Copies of this chain bind each other. A is one copy, B any other.
Amino acid sequence: MDKTSFPTLQKDKLKGLTRQQQTVLRREAILKAAFQEFTQKGFGSTRMEDVARCAGVGKGSIYLHFSDKEALLEELIKEYILPLVPRFSPTAANRDIPAKKLLHSMFSRLIDHITRGETAGQVLYLIISEGARFPRLAEIYYQTIITPGLATLTAVIQRGIERGEIKDKRLAECPQLLVAPLFVSLIWTKLFSPYKKLDMDKLLALSLDSLLGEAGEDDRHG
């Protein structure tokens, strides 16, 4: 398929390392390879041999770390979404920034990641596309990202309402609506970007202006 890619793990990287260190490195290489292959070809169409070759590792080695293909996927999701959580929290915890500015900075960074095909978007799409078939994935994602993410959003919204920045109180019950443009960006990027570009910034700006109220720190004019 693509001959250009080098194995994640080069042999010489392991030289002079402890057994334990090597093992850790190998495990990481396998996960990284699995991430690349799964997100590129999908779970069903990825052969374990591909993962092994991509990782620069023997096929059998995968099974030293993961009981089977599905476990590999599950572990991969776990390890790849956990580091995503702190990307939200610190910004959201900042009580000094107005709600709209705060949400804008949170989402625009995420949308940027998504459209540039970086980890966050890849994982999210993997979960969306395989989640219905692997409820375990959906569950992990729900507990790790959705629940705390919505809680954070709700907190920000609540704060905004108390400060009078947000007019419509119903938003506190529909934090999902804030995330909606994100899904649109993701799906558009993955499926339709060859046919027409979508101006994600405009989308996000309008979404926030509508939901949080036009008035704000934004000095843009209509």
Question: CB within 8 Å of B: which residues of A?
Answer: 41-45, 125, 127-133, 135, 138-139, 141-142, 146, 168-171, 173-174, 176-177, 179-181, 183-184, 187-188, 190-192, 194-195, 198-199, 202-203, 205-207, 209-211, 214, 222
Contact = CB atoms under 8 A, between A and B. Distances in A.
A96 B168 CA distance: 29
Nearest to A193: B138
Contacts of A207: 177, 180
**Interface of A: prevailing SS:** helix
A130 B177 CA distance: 25
B195 A139 contact: yes
A131 B198 CA distance: 18
A213 to B, nearest CB: 9
A192 B188 CA distance: 21
A169 B184 CA distance: 20
A1 to B, nearest CB: 13
A194 to B, nearest CB: 7
Give the number of times this chain occurs in the complex, counting copies.
2
Nearest to A211: B210
Contact of A195 (B130, B142, B194, B209): B142
Closest 9 CB pairs of A and B: A44-B44, A180-B180, A129-B129, A210-B210, A138-B191, A131-B191, A132-B190, A183-B183, A180-B184
A41 B133 contact: yes
Pick the most buried of A129, A132, A211: most chain B CB atoms within 10 A of its CB: A132
B222 A128 contact: no
A157 B189 CA distance: 24
A174 B191 contact: no
A187 B128 contact: yes
A41 B133 CA distance: 7
Contact of A183 (B138, B184, B210): B184
A128 B131 contact: no
Contacts of A45: 44, 133
Nearest to A127: B191
26 contacts: A42-B44, A42-B133, A125-B132, A128-B187, A128-B191, A129-B129, A132-B190, A135-B194, A138-B191, A139-B195, A142-B191, A142-B192, A146-B192, A168-B209, A168-B214, A170-B202, A170-B206, A170-B222, A171-B206, A173-B202, A177-B181, A177-B206, A177-B210, A179-B184, A180-B183, A206-B211
